[in-house]
Chain A
């Protein structure tokens, strides 16, 4: 444990109204670590990772990302968002912008990059996600798998240190899941720090350094994939695994 954490959640609590959605969540993520988060629906997985780039606000505890603490301070929030990329279940591409414009928008407006340079960067990112030929199309003209890869490219263009994925393949048809997972595996091999909420256990086994299992707003179990899949400690984890592995 010599290395410092790049993401650190300490005793994080969060409520939606009276409903406590996160309870004493503690999580430390080191640089280049790949964490896969799983758990039943409504267990707070999305809420937890959305707290990390402040799409949701936590009410108690501390969240520190790359040395910056997330508080009400808008400047800190901006700095953290530059460090952290996020990929959503529903892709959330900007439908009125072309693929290339989707990718260049943030570099141009947030990083003040010259347009030509941003376009070159966009093409490079599109090569990485293997769809450079789609650059001038609009999101509505792409398949789900292609859209999600554009969304990944859009995040990567901001050169983040950390990537968050919230069920990136759940909205995809089976034949498209692989093309997205392949890109994510490449990314992991390139050394990206990643937190991935997914139920793709094959992906988890090959890529994750650590599995995190959540239930009812708590982190119930945290273990390397080997131990997690073959020898889980908690009964709830066992039940969950038996449900998702046997259907």
Chain B
């Protein structure tokens, strides 16, 4: 009857929108939640200012509290005057920064490392941004990047050879992490397909390989690479130490990736295979164009997760004498001029690892959200 007299839609009774609403829903929804929130808040209140003070506001960087330039541990405020000063002394990092980033790479050649770092960033772009003009061409660059990186870092083709025992620090960490992941990815795909192969020999070999590698700790594989791999090579051929470690790391990672990708393959409905076969695609065309793009898309978050694990596990190479980021740190601590500054070194190393792994984990979250919301992204 009374059309004009529409019922006004009422406001929600308590704020469930805006910042206050967010707080109410997420942090103070019931008494238990509220107590936890307050405890955490108190804890953060205690920790954060203390840490910031230790790490930044009261810390030594280049000069100590007397204004002297810090050239060894005795100049650090907290060593010179331990009664009054407790904060970090970052000079150990600053003085040895070159080593942390490049190891013992010759200074006059170090531009090659910088160029490689820069190209790495470029190679990552098409993986991070899906909607990109010329993405297909950039992906090609990403695929050949490892070869370019190898030539730049190691030498040859007119570049002076820099033997890998001169490499160290972040360089070694990234080489092992990036090469290990990049090489393990195609190998993992092959192993996953192989394990599902209808040919029993292939499937058995792949299964045995995967299960063997997964049943052995990485450190065992590293020793295997160092000690046993040379025994398998023909006499006179001497395999580079870093390459041997890289082989071990790659095999290790490939086995894990294979299992992750196999999970993705299992999630692809049988109908996809049948449709692909019925239009005449060959086995490899079917996998390359239909099955793998879908399987990899749904497993990228897990692939990134295992990659994060590998990236951190590369620190184990310290045991067989390679100086990765952590190795350089420990080397610095063993040096009498800087002894005792382990807090600074470990915090720094942890921070660098955190930056990389946090980046990777955000990337996997971003992909996960995209997979959840997006209908389907354009295919390659």
Neighbouring B residues of A187 by C-beta, 8 Å: none
Contact with B along A74-102 (1 / 0, CB 8 A): 00001001101110101011111110010
Bound form: Cα–Cα A81–B275 in Å: 11
Distance in Å: Cβ of A82 to nearest Cβ of chain B: 5
Bound form: Cα–Cα A140–B375 in Å: 7
Bound form: Cα–Cα A82–B282 in Å: 11
A19 within 8 A of B: no
B274 and A81: CB pair below 8 A? no
Decide yes or no: A106 and B281 within 8 Å by CB, A88-B275, A92-B272, A92-B275 being known contacts: yes
Interface of chain B, helix or strand or loop or mixed? Answer: helix
B375 and A138: CB pair below 8 A? yes
* Contact among A96, A101, A110 for B279, CB-based, below 8 A: A110
A110 and B274: CB pair below 8 A? no
A55 and B277: CB pair below 8 A? yes
A234 within 8 A of B: no
Bound form: Cα–Cα A105–B280 in Å: 10
Decide yes or no: A97 and B379 within 8 Å by CB, A82-B280, A110-B280, A110-B281 being known contacts: yes
A45 within 8 A of B: no
Q: List which B238-292 residues lie within 8 A (CB) of chain A.
A: 269, 271-272, 274-282, 285, 289-290
A155 within 8 A of B: yes
Distance in Å: Cβ of A78 to nearest Cβ of chain B: 6
Bound form: Cα–Cα A85–B275 in Å: 10
A53 and B294: CB pair below 8 A? no
B375 and A94: CB pair below 8 A? no
A16 within 8 A of B: no
A110 and B376: CB pair below 8 A? no
B379 and A96: CB pair below 8 A? yes
Contact with B along A153-170 (1 / 0, CB 8 A): 011001000000000000
* Interface residues contributed by chain A, number (CB under 8 Å): 30
A95 and B294: CB pair below 8 A? yes
Distance in Å: Cβ of B294 to nearest Cβ of chain A: 5
Neighbouring B residues of A242 by C-beta, 8 Å: none
Bound form: Cα–Cα A65–B280 in Å: 15
A98 and B378: CB pair below 8 A? yes
A81 and B277: CB pair below 8 A? yes
Bound form: Cα–Cα A81–B273 in Å: 14
B135 within 8 A of A: no
Bound form: Cα–Cα A92–B276 in Å: 9
Bound form: Cα–Cα A110–B283 in Å: 12
B289 and A88: CB pair below 8 A? no
B293 within 8 A of A: yes
B297 within 8 A of A: yes
Bound form: Cα–Cα A140–B284 in Å: 25
Best-surrounded residue of B275, B280, B282, B377 (most CB of chain A within 10 A): B280
Decide yes or no: A81 and B379 within 8 Å by CB, A92-B272, A94-B272, A105-B289 being known contacts: no
Decide yes or no: A88 and B285 within 8 Å by CB, A95-B294, A110-B280 being known contacts: no
A105 and B279: CB pair below 8 A? yes
Distance in Å: Cβ of B135 to nearest Cβ of chain A: 15
Bound form: Cα–Cα A154–B280 in Å: 11
Bound form: Cα–Cα A110–B282 in Å: 8
Neighbouring A residues of B289 by C-beta, 8 Å: 105, 109
> Would you give 28 A-B contacts (Cβ < 8 Å), ordered by A?
A55-B277, A55-B278, A81-B277, A81-B280, A82-B280, A84-B278, A85-B278, A90-B269, A90-B271, A92-B272, A94-B275, A94-B276, A94-B290, A94-B294, A95-B376, A96-B293, A96-B377, A98-B379, A101-B379, A105-B289, A106-B281, A109-B285, A110-B279, A138-B375, A138-B376, A140-B376, A154-B275, A155-B278
- Which B residues contact A (CB, under 8 angstroms)? 269, 271-272, 274-282, 285, 289-290, 293-294, 297, 375-379
Cβ-closest 4 pairs across A and B: A92-B275, A92-B271, A106-B279, A86-B278
Q: What 16 new A-B contacts, CB under 8 Å, besides A96-B297, A110-B281?
A: A53-B278, A55-B274, A55-B278, A78-B280, A81-B278, A86-B274, A88-B275, A90-B271, A93-B275, A98-B379, A106-B279, A106-B280, A110-B280, A110-B282, A139-B376, A155-B279
